[in-house]
Amino acid sequence: MRVLVTESIAQSGIDMLGKKAEVDVRLKIGRDELLEIIKGYHGIVVRSATLVDSQLLKAAKNLKVVGRAGNGIDNIDLDAATQAGVVVVNTPESNSVSAAEHTIGMMLASCRNTCSANQYIKSGNWDRSRFKGNELDGKTVGIIGLGRIGSLVSSRLQSFNMKVIAYDPYIPGERFELLGVEKMEKLEDLLIRADIITVHTPRTEETIGMLGESQLATIKDGVRLVNCARGGIIEEKALYKALKSGKVASAALDVFEQEPCPDNPLFGLDNIVVTPHLGADTHEAQNKVGINIAKHVLDALEGRFVTGAVNMPSLHDKDMEYLKPYLLLAEKLGRLYYQLEKRPVSKVEIKYRGGIAEHKTGLLTLAYLKGLLEPVVKERVNYVNAKLLAKSRGIDVMESLDSAASEYTDLIEARVSNGHGAFSMAGTLFGMKELRIVELNGYKIDMEPAPHMLLVRNEDKPGVIGCIGTIMGVSKINIATMRVSRNSKGGKALMVLNVDGVVPKDVIDMVKKVDGITEVNFIKL
């Protein structure tokens, strides 16, 4: 495996990558050269400067993972990566504490005129009267965005005895209550109440220009603004006017619409504190970012589930611990269909029963689709693009949950429709370790999904099982286990043989000639 690192990460991360992969560190590599060499790499690690767009992804024939060492993914075309089946991973939690602490520091510096006083004293002057500031105690702080960093900022500001209000339409009310934060239903409600406003949202089409001229016109006179999130959320021209007029008493910015920007007009104002995107720039954060991005990239390259993936469902640790054993089961169930049926699929219905239904099962559905599609599509199929590929083939995917107790503690049921009928299958785990297929197209059965299996449908009459056993013995094919199921005496029966190797076509043809045999399929799982 080869990994290209185009921007600086901690040496600890480089060392971790180097234990499993060949790592090339090419800082400040030119765009043309990058497009030329990227085809030779399976992974790329970037920060915010390297553009990972559709052009790059098209040139990256062998790319499996893009690692963003940090939080935002503004420089990565997520849709193009998903279509290409490339996992995009980042490290949003690694620098959360550093970003939250920097926000508090910037807020204090802004309220207490720390930076201006520092510069004034160092220039040989002494006059403290001109730098009188304001306390945080008793003030109302408005937090826009109550995600990871916003939540950390909230808890820290409450220790300053501040009243915390927040606006985030994507966070449930229970989360606000848990954090002791008053929920604002509208952004306007926050703007008219807050003494200090701090921004903690990602940069999206929805948030760019969120605080523009019209919004700044509604805020309290003398409000203070802090942005250590993403540049462009506060319109800089509008902010400049508000700072000049005194409508905004002061601002503290760590991020800007364009970076670097040494000639930014805001830098000429006395009532603004600025830093060059330092929010995550601590030794501790960078070490954690380097180690975590290396771990995520290696997980993706080695085919493991990636907890830091952006373009696939995320899971809490408790969900992942419970569901991980079921990922392989779901994928093996999906692999059954096209080895037993040749008709194109029109709809997939997956039902999760029992305790499994109380967890986030979206990843299991992706695992099933991955198993279903891998045998019949040319594109690489993985958890990232499985649902997209299903949609492109006109397959409707439906998922339902039923936590009521049933015959099994947990059960995954799948029904595949093909325009001529439907094919069903179901599986469970025994002791959370042993995979079992317990239903196959109407037949109840207890079969372990093995690498090599022979599925036989036959008339339920004496002698059939013996004939098959004889053929396997004569052909030197060892039968590991055999399971038989029938729905009615004298009707059709299903026989499943787990065998120790591939069953050649001539042996399958011999089995088909046995009196009473109606169908034979060799399956690889």
Active-site positions read: 230, 259, 277
Rg of the chain in Å (alpha carbons): 30
DSSP 322: H
SS (H, E, C) 281-309: CCHHHHHHHHHHHHHHHHHHHCCCCCCCE
CA 461 to chain centre: 52
DSSP 524: E
> 473: Cβ–Cβ under 8 A, 6 or more apart, which residues?
none
- What token pair was written down for 447? 């079969």
Residue type, 377: V
Strand segments, DSSP code E, in 6-86 are 22-25, 43-46, 65-68
DSSP per-residue codes, 127-145: -SGGG-----TT-EEEEE-
- What token pair was written down for 364? 């299991």
Strand segments, DSSP code E, in 129-211 are 140-144, 163-167, 182-183, 196-199
Q: Cα separation of 89 and 307, whole Å?
A: 8
Strand segments, DSSP code E, in 278-421 are 347-354, 396-402, 410-417
Angle, vertex CA 374, rays to CA 349 and CA 366, nearest 5: 45
Instruction: Decide if 103 contacts 152 (C-beta within 8 A).
Output: no
Plot region of 383 (φ>0 → left; ψ -120 to 50 → alpha; else → beta): alpha
Instruction: Decide if 103 contacts 228 (C-beta within 8 A).
Output: yes
Q: Cα separation of 400 and 394, whole Å?
A: 20
C-alpha count within 13 angstroms, C-beta hemisphere, residue 490? 0
Residue type, 516: G
Q: Cα separation of 266 and 275, whole Å?
A: 12
Q: Cα separation of 491 and 405, whole Å?
A: 31
DSSP 276: S
Q: Cα separation of 164 and 174, whole Å?
A: 15
DSSP 345: P
Residue for token digits 């279509």? 83
Beta bridge partners of 486: 493
Strand segments, DSSP code E, in 217-368 are 223-227, 248-253, 272-274, 347-354
Instruction: Decide if 452 contacts 499 (C-beta within 8 A).
Output: yes
Taking the CA atoms of 178, 180, 185 and 187 in sequence, report the sign of the dihedral they define. negative
